Amino acid sequence: MSYQSGRTPKGPEPPRRSSTSGGVDPATIKKHYEDLADSYDEFLYWSPDFVGKMADKIVDMLDLQPDDTLVDIGGGTGMYSLALLERVELTNPVTVVDPFPEMLARIPEDAPIVPVAAEAVEFSAGAPGCSKVLMKEAIHHVGNKSELIGNLYDRLDPGGRVLLVHVDPHQVQYPLFDAALDNARNSFADPDELIRILDSAGFEPRRDELAYHHEVPTGHYHRMVERRYMSILTSLPEEQLTAGLDEMRARDQGTDTLRFTETFSYVLGTKTR
Ligand SMILES: C[S@@+](CC[C@H](N)C(=O)[O-])C[C@H]1O[C@@H](n2cnc3c(N)ncnc32)[C@H](O)[C@@H]1O
């Protein structure tokens, strides 16, 4: 299935960003996604095999069914909502929530997706009911995770599920440089903490993981780093990024392909009552 690119998000203007942001400060996150929006899919799609394997596991853990109402919070350009729609013919459109209209604008206009420009916690406080919620690589941007998860518990139907997919900070292995790796370890959400938050909110938590072995042309990966493809790179001072890239170029000289493993934790909460 293919969709026409480009759409204008509906919904309220992005709210002021208050206390709700993870390790990296809100102004940096805003700048990061506004600057990256046009290149996001080029850099973060990696490969059809990667997105396919990630999406298959999401379908499986969410137990996604055609009559589900799915909300994709921090859904960005809709990359994973589109992959899920290819796998399960949902009767209802997917709601993709993201604070940055620049990201939502990349969602194909004719896709069965309703884009909503809103920050996660503020959306969750007034969200309509739904049966399944996905947050892929977005929970680390949310400061008050307990408030978000508590609100989602209230909004979910009985039997509903929330799935938090995230790079495991304990298993970070990018071919980067020390300052960037330290930033990643300190910024990504700890799966054990997410389990505790889900448990306290009343969910039955379960955890799994997916380790994917990337093979990326060296020059392409260096360009991704130069363009600060992750927010943990945007938060580094210019000199540190330049020095890190010099280090990478020296280390990777004569290497055509970079091979590394990205390990995602899949943390599921089921509302059993
Ligand atoms: C790494 S991207 C992941 C996008 C998409 N889920 C994917 O996997 O392709 C993180 C997304 O979270 C969004 N985001 C940042 N802060 C957020 C917040 N406080 N609430 C909701 N989404 C947020 C960003 O705009 C961005 O689209």
Going from N- to C-terminal start, the domains of the chain cover 26-270
Largest CA distance in the chain: 57
Among protein residues, the one with the nearest Cα to ligand 1's atom 11 is 74
Per-residue model confidence as pLDDT tens for the chain (273 residues): 556 656 555 544 333 333 334 467 889 999 999 999 999 999 999 999 999 999 999 999 999 999 999 999 999 999 999 999 999 999 999 999 999 999 999 999 999 999 999 999 999 999 889 999 999 999 999 989 999 999 999 999 999 999 999 999 999 999 999 999 999 999 999 999 999 999 999 999 999 999 999 999 999 999 999 999 999 999 899 999 999 999 999 999 999 999 999 999 999 999 997
8 Å CB contact between 132 and 161: yes
CA-wise closest residue to 167 among 149, 151, 181: 181
Ligand 1 proximity of 198 Cβ (cutoff 6 Å): no
Ligand 1 proximity of 79 Cβ (cutoff 6 Å): yes
CATH architecture designation of domain 26-270: 3-Layer(aba) Sandwich (3.40)
pLDDT of residue 16: 33
Q: How many CB atoms lie within 10 A of CB 255?
A: 11
Q: What type of residue is 251?
A: R
